[in-house]
Chains A and B, each alone.
Chain A
């Protein structure tokens, strides 16, 4: 018997070996997840949609906020080229990522075809995909006008002929209509959770709808002022007859969100300026913020805004900090508490006929609290330390003594005295407060945020409730209901300490523009707003105009950034010793005036894109 056992085992081994031949090479990979795996587990689908969220195309992100200095909100302390270009390139602000849109289309298709997900998960993921897709089209239409509207993943059949994949540009209004209708369709599918800030929610869909309708309405209304910014088939430009309907949609959507009571203005701090700054920093039960790009320390997703913008006097990282300086153009736009506008009172007509202040910050007293919530003014503290912004000493004979190193000491009449602030400003000294101010909005006060190894986790706010109120106010104004507009502006202005209410008669186009300018500064609005109102070519008109004396007027040219430099009076024994004076300065680094040409209203679609798809028509005036 024994001798057969070996044979039997051999035979069995061979037999079983043969039967599993086909599966032998079919080993599940352990390092990658296949499509079926991903779309059968809601946690993995969440990872997939997170990737799509991460790729939302914002024009300005915390890591590249220098772009604000290309217009008139800030001086770039270091990146001086921004003030030395006259023209904006036609290619600027372009975006053309149909790869992203294709991936979203595939995502939606796969979620809807998935069999192992719960119906609730499928509905939510699919709606999130639709939000991201509509948001990408919103970005495209803001930049390029009407674009090909692709809502299915296109597949090439390798036939050698790609022409079936070519789609012509849709009308500009059709893209806006698409965004509006998508938001309407998905708003009730998305969760109604105002505490959810980094995923699409009901509130976000309604807020996006309001913003898109407002943009479309203003392009329709103000497009008549720039008739050459249009294309005959409507790829660029929206007929004026559509304006009212869009404004009505914008107002209705804003009201829907306002009346839902889901969000409210952030009012947690007693000091109004601190409160305004905290609105962007407070991640715990923030009632105002609707949608953000979030960051988290030690997760790999951090940004260097605080690293690049910490005041130089208190920098935590050697020579870093102070790059973006709010401009005097912006700072003087914050109105006085009696709702009037005036340049900052720094002299009595002549630049050397100073007005003397006991404390630096006194110059900014009696103004909109958002000023000191947005900018760190001379005399302010940050991280509980003095930021020490002053440009030099004014001696008894009126001459100016300054230095070329931060906080430099010099000997005056035998005494060693500091002649310039620890944050500057010093002309041409990178990172010194050459604009006269530092950033407070978005600037992280946490200890360590200024270190390369730590950085900041302040989130970037994309949508917040105050904008919804201002959208409602603008739409109401454009529909002729000024009283309603004033009532929507009131809570935003109350929070800024402007408690004297505006009446219906006060509401003008200038007011609407101004309120957005000061409330939403450095929040990725100015360029889009000026484009849709068709005032970009008037404000940035290329003229070498001086700083306006009418900061409340929307169409005043603002082609160059001006700075405000404080000086300390050094005249021991004199009446004004140790008092502060200010000078308006045009930096020598600002050598050109910005001109926004008609061809800049819609970014260029590159020759490469047109070559691939000759159905694409080019944008006007380029």
Chain B
């Protein structure tokens, strides 16, 4: 493209447009609100929020922020990443933070009216905040071994909520394998499942996958992760992603 293709009036309009931006636009939000979902300081690992961002209701696990300054309220949904972290760019202001009903593999405090309790968040500049919750289970000491193209894994399940009202049983434990480091129920090329009824000892849960199929393009390693599905709870809780090399 040569300069000839720009006519003078077009150039003038463009300049005018650029100059106009100054006056019309708001300041962008600049404060970062970030943190992790934790249990006793340890992050809870979940399914990745790697779906298309067009539809905000599609995050596997999210928390909600409600800004209080306006009458017409609409939630800001903050997705939780697979390492349990979240981050959101916000305007300074006063927010209420809640975990909506049914979100996450954990219990969130509730009010007397049985609604999700809210946390007040007065954002003045960037802020880091870990949110303490009570998970139904923790998945501990994951170990993975590879023999040939089969991946074997073992975990210990620690039942955190044990009371009769809120305690839940294990529906299944699954070992997921994927080519990329996003590994979970929604992103896997191979999975091994073990039903909760087949688990006799929560301290020794062992799974072995079938042969990992041929990878195109070829790669000698895969990423693996063990997830726990709790009966009646949609979101699973996972071990950290681990890279293993196939033999």
Known contacts A86-B186, A90-B57, A227-B232; A621 and B102 CB within 8 A of each other: yes
Q: How far is the CA of A470 from the CA of B162 in the complex (A)?
A: 45
CB distance from A89 to the nearest CB of B (A): 5
Residues of A within 8 A of B78 (CB): none
Known contacts A544-B188, A611-B73; A91 and B57 CB within 8 A of each other: yes
Residues of chain A from 162 to 217 with CB closer than 8 A to chain B in the complex: none
Residues of B within 8 A of A622 (CB): 57, 100-102
Q: How far is the CA of A597 from the CA of B100 in the complex (A)?
A: 15
Q: Which residue of A lies closest to B100 (CB)?
A: A622
Bitwise interface map of B from 155 to 185 toward A, beta carbon under 8 Å scored 1, else 0: 0000000000000000000000000000001
The answer, yes or no, to whether A604 is at the interface (CB within 8 Å) is yes
Bitwise interface map of B from 89 to 119 toward A, beta carbon under 8 Å scored 1, else 0: 0000000000011110000000000100000
The answer, yes or no, to whether B197 is at the interface (CB within 8 Å) is no
CB distance from B163 to the nearest CB of A (A): 17
Q: Which residue of A lies closest to B114 (CB)?
A: A232
Interface size on A, residues (CB 8 A): 26
The answer, yes or no, to whether B219 is at the interface (CB within 8 Å) is no
The answer, yes or no, to whether A547 is at the interface (CB within 8 Å) is no
The answer, yes or no, to whether B2 is at the interface (CB within 8 Å) is no
The answer, yes or no, to whether A497 is at the interface (CB within 8 Å) is no
Size range of the chain B interface in the assembly: 20 to 34
Known contacts A91-B57, A597-B234; A228 and B102 CB within 8 A of each other: yes
The answer, yes or no, to whether A576 is at the interface (CB within 8 Å) is no
Of B101, B185, B186, which is within 8 A of A620 by CB?
B101
Q: How far is the CA of A595 from the CA of B234 in the complex (A)?
A: 11
Q: Which residue of A lies closest to B75 (CB)?
A: A607
Q: Which residue of B lies closest to A91 (CB)?
A: B57
The answer, yes or no, to whether A403 is at the interface (CB within 8 Å) is no
Residues of chain A from 505 to 563 with CB closer than 8 A to chain B in the complex: 542-544
Residues of A within 8 A of B71 (CB): 611
Of B72, B100, B188, which is within 8 A of A608 by CB?
B72
The answer, yes or no, to whether B241 is at the interface (CB within 8 Å) is no
Residues of B within 8 A of A618 (CB): 101
CB distance from A71 to the nearest CB of B (A): 17
Q: How far is the CA of A384 from the CA of B72 in the complex (A)?
A: 60
Known contacts A597-B234, A607-B75; A87 and B102 CB within 8 A of each other: no
Q: Which residue of B lies closest to A231 (CB)?
A: B101
CB distance from B71 to the nearest CB of A (A): 7
Residues of B within 8 A of A607 (CB): 72-75
CB distance from A162 to the nearest CB of B (A): 13
Q: Which residue of A lies closest to B190 (CB)?
A: A544
Residues of B within 8 A of A611 (CB): 71-74
Residues of B within 8 A of A226 (CB): 232
Q: How far is the CA of A86 from the CA of B185 in the complex (A)?
A: 11
Residues of chain A from 218 to 248 with CB closer than 8 A to chain B in the complex: 226-228, 232
CB distance from A242 to the nearest CB of B (A): 22
The answer, yes or no, to whether B55 is at the interface (CB within 8 Å) is yes
Residues of B within 8 A of A91 (CB): 55, 57
Bitwise interface map of A from 589 to 622 toward B, beta carbon under 8 Å scored 1, else 0: 0001101011100001001100100000010111
Residues of B within 8 A of A593 (CB): 186
The answer, yes or no, to whether B58 is at the interface (CB within 8 Å) is yes
Q: Which residue of A lies closest to B58 (CB)?
A: A87
Contact in complex: A595, B186 (CB < 8 Å): yes
Q: Which residue of B lies closest to A604 (CB)?
A: B57
The answer, yes or no, to whether B198 is at the interface (CB within 8 Å) is no
Of B60, B188, B234, which is within 8 A of A598 by CB?
B234
Q: How far is the CA of A593 from the CA of B234 in the complex (A)?
A: 16
Bitwise interface map of A from 322 to 349 toward B, beta carbon under 8 Å scored 1, else 0: 0000000000000000000000000000
Q: How far is the CA of A621 from the CA of B99 in the complex (A)?
A: 11
Contact in complex: B58, A89 (CB < 8 Å): yes
CB distance from B77 to the nearest CB of A (A): 10
CB distance from A475 to the nearest CB of B (A): 28
Residues of B within 8 A of A87 (CB): 51, 58, 60
CB distance from B235 to the nearest CB of A (A): 9
Q: List 26 A-B contacts (CB under 8 A).
A: A86-B186, A87-B60, A89-B55, A89-B57, A89-B58, A91-B55, A227-B232, A228-B232, A228-B233, A542-B185, A544-B188, A544-B189, A592-B186, A593-B186, A595-B186, A599-B102, A604-B57, A607-B72, A607-B73, A607-B75, A611-B71, A611-B74, A620-B101, A621-B101, A621-B102, A622-B101
Chain A residues close to B by CB (< 8 Å): 86-87, 89-91, 226-228, 232, 542-544, 592-593, 595, 597-599, 604, 607-608, 611, 618, 620-622
Which 8 pairs from chain A and chain B are nearest by CB? A621-B102, A607-B74, A90-B57, A87-B58, A611-B72, A89-B55, A598-B234, A89-B57
